[in-house]
Amino acid sequence: MAFFITFEGIEGCGKTTQMEMLKAYLEQGGAEVLCVREPGGTILGERVRELLLNAGDEEPGPLAELFLYEACRAQLVNLVIKPALASGKTVLCDRFIDSTVAYQGYGRGLDVKAVYAANELATNGLRPDLTLILDCAVETGLKRAWARIEAATDENREDRFEKESLLFHNRVRAGYIEIAKKEPERVQVIDATVEIASIHRAICDIITKKVLS
């Protein structure tokens, strides 16, 4: 059955690690699974990702940043996510609409209602069936994220957001908690401070109850 699941949370909370583990788990059960990420997943999206994540000579302002994320999203939804769901695949997405609410709304201070409206326009109303927010202290997440960035061998340092202040990241984290309160049916918050294997088990339990039952 086609199902759309998104992974959300602050930098270094462990989304990518858990998405890959869930993919393997679902595939063992016979599902066809497609993993995508935002920003990215299309030719346009990957090119815009570079503009968004590498600190360059000219930083996008908050509004320009919002529209760049939404442009990537519109392209990803139309070219990749909708066709995959229509063909019966389960789609796992590393960040989606809630990242924009948390980062551009709560983090940057753009009007949160306007961000929801921009999301609606870019997705043409497509919403995840389930969203998993991996929650940990900002200090924990940033420590993990910086270790990953320092260990990377390519020249593309995607560190523009990691360089933001602790205050910014704490606003983002608080934003995610607000999102979860608003939509408890869709959004589940998971403790991301424990071991990778325990988090995976918690996610599998949720999937068994919500998706496979």
Residues that bind ligand T5A (CB under 6 A): 9, 11-17, 38-39, 53, 69, 94-95, 99-100, 103-104, 144-145, 148, 158, 161, 192, 195-196, 199
CA atoms in the 13 A half-sphere facing the CB of 28? 7
For ligand T5A, which is the closer residue by CB, 90 or 104? 104
Question: Concatenated DSSP letters for 42-101?
Answer: SHHHHHHHHHHHS--SSPPPHHHHHHHHHHHHHHHIIIIIHHHHHTT-EEEEES-HHHHI
Distance separating alpha carbons of residues 72 and 46, to the nearest angstrom: 8
Residue 30 Cβ vs ligand T5A, minimum distance, rounded to whole Å: 25
Sign of the dihedral defined by the CA atoms of residues 53, 74, 97, 105, in that order: positive
Q: How far is the CB of 148 from ligand T5A (least distance, A)?
A: 5
d(CA 124, CA 174): 27
Of the pair 1, 155, the CB lying nearest ligand T5A is at 155
Q: CA 49 from chain center: how many Å?
A: 13
State the minimum distance, in angstroms, from the CB of residue 32 to ligand T5A.
23
Nearer to ligand T5A, 88 or 172 (CB): 172
The residue (of 46 and 87) whose beta carbon lies closer to ligand T5A is 46
Tokens 């995976």 locate to 200
Rounded to a whole number of angstroms, the minimum distance from the CB of residue 210 to ligand T5A is 21
Shortest Cβ distance from residue 192 to ligand T5A (Å)? Answer: 6
Comparing CB distances to ligand T5A, the nearer of 88 and 147 is 147
Report the residue number, 60 or 186, with the smaller CB distance to ligand T5A: 60
Q: Least distance from C-beta 121 to ligand T5A, angstroms?
A: 14
Is the alpha carbon torsion for 61, 163, 117, 85 positive or negative? positive
